[in-house]
């Protein structure tokens, strides 16, 4: 079916009741209320829509007066949060039109026209409005056709729309990847040019966008491949672009391995997906010739941890995220061998620290799934069970868990200083080996025998 501008077709989408109630209230007060944006697009594409947003000709002050419970989310931009009966906060935004745009953000003014409001939206598939009371669809830019035909296209002239807001370049790649759409020739041509202006975007916006790529799409690799193909990758994360065509395993390059590992992690685990995506980032720096003329990558994990931290800091990720993700990358190969004794598992636990254990295993599983011909690691499940067995005894893994501390050393007449830590580390090493040694009298005896001398 070919729809032309303004065509009304009846379509029953299924928004939450609370959305219909909010629309009804606006309607009864003489206002228009349209569901717009992501949820309409998702629902029309046959996916559960989240974030049902409404657009209305009512001004924000009016919306605030009409509903009992509202939150001024961004009143100056026209957005009021209205608390639905289901306890969800729905965004109700006054129709807007762009007055001025800068490539990063726009100055908008309120409008009374749905058409104008749809015209400022980025892609045709995002510019479809649906009336929750009547089922009427307004689709002036052919978004439904594009959705059906599998095409991603800007509303209006692509080059101009990207120049207004370069984030749209990344949004285009994400929507194309997420919905499996082909980017139209015009839009792609303009996008390939606009990629070189991505440097005007703030690190935070890029990071948030990448988090959506990783957090919303099961096959994030489809989008990430488009990042590479469009050169957005080399603009934003050249360290990752450098892994393309670095041969690693059975004809697979470091980039492809990283993509496969990323897809093997559930989207809900965004940090772990970052670790999977960055886990081969140290290969280019570590690459050296081996004696037979092939390549080796000894120590790529350490380079990788450093580079991952560099990338994430540049994207202004939180310190906690930088620390966690880069540490996972650095530790990716540090798993105890299959035949390790319990003491080996305890030493490994002390080395990686308990908070990393689960994710390290998950990362290893993802790497194993990514591998075209997995060799080791077929026994990951058994090794995981081994960890659980060992942890059941709640072994002491840190200095704090020792039955003897600094005070005891002082009481023995030892002077505080680096020597203290040395002694305590020695004791921990022994306790990891033989947990039954962790008794005050035993440890005191060891200190007297080994460190003070008799
Ligand atoms: P998602 O929530 O999955 O990121 P979305 O399309 O819902 O996708 P939002 O950022 O929630 O994205 O924005 C809601 C709607 O606002 C979009 O569907 C689009 O119509 C419009 N919009 C959002 N960002 C832009 C932008 N940078 N330029 C133009 N229109 C935009
Ligand atoms: Mg949304």
Q: Write the pLDDT tens digit of every residue in 222-268.
A: 999 999 999 999 999 999 999 999 999 888 999 999 999 999 999 99
Tell me if 339 sits within 8 A of 229, measured CB to CB: no
pLDDT of residue 406: 87
Q: How many CB atoms lie within 10 A of CB 344?
A: 16
Residue nearest to atom 22 of ligand 1 (CA): 121
Test site for ligand 1: of 37, 45, 168, most ligand atoms within 8 A of the Cβ: 37
Residue 10 has a pLDDT of: 47
Tens-place pLDDT, residues 144-153: 999 999 999 9
Mutation test of ligand 1: which of 15, 36, 38 has the most ligand atoms closer than 8 Å to its C-beta?
38
- CA dihedral angle for residue 148, residue 154, residue 157, residue 163, rounded to 10 degrees: -170
Query: Which residue is closest in CA terms to ligand 1's atom 8?
Result: 38
HEC assignment per residue over 330-353: HHCCCCCCCCCCHHHHHHHHHHHC
Nearest atom of ligand 1 to the alpha carbon of 122: 29
Give bridge partners of residue 97 from the DSSP assignment.
Answer: 109
Quick one: pLDDT at residue 103?
A: 66
The number of the ligand nearest the C-alpha atom of 38 reads: 1
How many A from CA of 168 to the centre of ligand 1? 9
Ligand 1 atom nearest 50 alpha carbon: 2
Ligand 1 atom 15: residue of nearest CA: 37
- Cβ proximity of 241 and 234 under 8 Å: yes
Q: Is 316 left (phi over 0), alpha (psi -120 to 50) or beta?
A: left
Which numbered ligand comes closest to the C-alpha of 178?
A: 1
d(CA 420, CA 428): 12
Ligand 1 atom closest to 168 (CA): 27
Q: What is the pLDDT of residue 8?
A: 44
With the most atoms of ligand 1 within 8 angstroms of its CB, the residue from 121, 146, 177, 209 to mutate is 121
| Best probe residue, ligand 1, of 122, 124, 158, 220 (max atoms within 8 Å of C-beta) | 122
Pocket around ligand 1: residues whose beta carbon is below 6 Å from it?
A: 37-38, 51, 121-122, 126-127, 165, 167-168, 212
Q: What is the end-to-end Cα distance of the chain in Å, rounded?
A: 95
Q: 55 CA to middle of ligand 1, Å?
A: 13
Tokens encoding 39: 């949820």
| Residue nearest atom 17 in ligand 1 by C-alpha distance | 37
Closest-CA residue, ligand 1 atom 16, reads 37
Interior/surface letters 44-73, b for 16+ CB within 10 angstroms, e for the rest: beeeebeebbbbbbbbbebbbebbeebeeb
Which atom number of ligand 1 is nearest to the Cα of residue 165?
A: 27
Q: How far is the CA of 200 from the centre of ligand 2 (A)?
A: 23
Ranges of the chain with pLDDT below 50: 1-10
Report how far ligand 1's centroid is from the alpha carbon of 163 (Å).
Answer: 16
Q: How far, in Å, is the centroid of ligand 1 from the Cα of 126? A: 7
Q: Determine the Cα–Cα distance for residues 324 and 330; give it in Å rounded to an integer.
A: 10
Residue 451: predicted pLDDT: 87
Residues present in the chain in total: 454
Alpha carbon of 168 to ligand 2 centroid (Å)? 14
What is the pLDDT at residue 425?
A: 95
What is the distance in A from the centroid of ligand 1 to the CA of 52? Answer: 12
pTM of the model: 0.91
Phi-psi region of 396 (alpha: psi -120 to 50; beta: other; left: phi over 0): beta
CA of 236 to the centre of ligand 2 (A): 23
Whose C-alpha lies nearest to ligand 1, atom 5?
38
């Amino acid at each position: 079916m070919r729809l032309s501008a303004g065509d009304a077709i009846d379509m029953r989408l299924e928004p939450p009741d609370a959305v219909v109630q909010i629309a009804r209230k606006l309607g009864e007060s003489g206002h228009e209320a349209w569901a717009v944006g992501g949820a309409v697009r998702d629902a029309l594409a046959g996916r559960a829509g989240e974030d049902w947003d409404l657009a209305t000709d009512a001004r924000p002050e009016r919306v605030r007066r009409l509903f009992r419970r509202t939150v001024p989310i961004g009143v100056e931009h026209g957005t009021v949060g209205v608390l639905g009966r289901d306890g969800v906060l729905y965004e109700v935004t006054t129709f807007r039109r762009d007055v001025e745009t800068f490539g990063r953000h726009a100055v908008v003014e309120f409008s009374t026209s749905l058409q104008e409001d749809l015209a400022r939206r980025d892609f045709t598939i995002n510019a479809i409005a649906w009336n929750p009371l009547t089922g009427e669809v307004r689709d002036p830019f052919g978004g439904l056709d594009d959705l059906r035909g599998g095409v991603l296209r800007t509303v209006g002239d692509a080059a101009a729309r990207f120049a207004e807001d370069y984030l749209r370049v990344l949004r285009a790649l994400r929507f194309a990847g997420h919905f499996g759409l082909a980017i139209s020739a015009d839009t792609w041509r303009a996008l390939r040019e606009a990629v070189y202006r991505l440097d005007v975007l703030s690190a935070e916006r890029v990071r948030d966008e990448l988090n959506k790529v990783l957090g919303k799409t099961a096959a994030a690799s489809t989008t990430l491949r488009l990042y590479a193909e469009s050169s957005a990758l080399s603009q934003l994360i050249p360290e990752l672009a450098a892994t393309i065509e670095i041969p690693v395993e059975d004809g697979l390059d470091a980039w492809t391995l990283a993509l496969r590992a990323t897809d093997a992690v559930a989207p809900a685990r965004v940090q772990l997906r970052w670790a999977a995506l960055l886990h081969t980032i140290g290969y280019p720096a570590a690459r050296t010739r081996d004696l037979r003329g092939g390549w080796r990558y000894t120590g790529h994990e350490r380079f990788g941890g450093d580079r991952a931290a560099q990338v994430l800091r540049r994207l202004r990720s939180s310190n906690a995220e930088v620390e966690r993700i880069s540490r996972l990358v650095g530790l990716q190969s540090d798993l105890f061998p299959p035949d390790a004794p319990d003491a080996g598992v305890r030493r490994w636990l002390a080395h990686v620290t308990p908070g990393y254990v689960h994710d390290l295993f998950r990362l290893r599983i993802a790497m194993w799934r990514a591998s075209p011909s997995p060799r080791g690691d077929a026994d990951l499940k058994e090794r995981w069970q081994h960890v659980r067995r060992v942890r059941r005894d709640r072994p002491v893994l840190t200095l704090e868990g020792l039955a003897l501390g600094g005070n005891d050393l002082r009481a023995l007449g030892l002077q505080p200083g680096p020597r203290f830590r040395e002694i305590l580390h020695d004791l921990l090493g022994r306790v990891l080996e033989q947990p039954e040694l962790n008794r005050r009298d035993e440890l005191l005896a060891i200190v007297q025998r080994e460190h003070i001398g008799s």
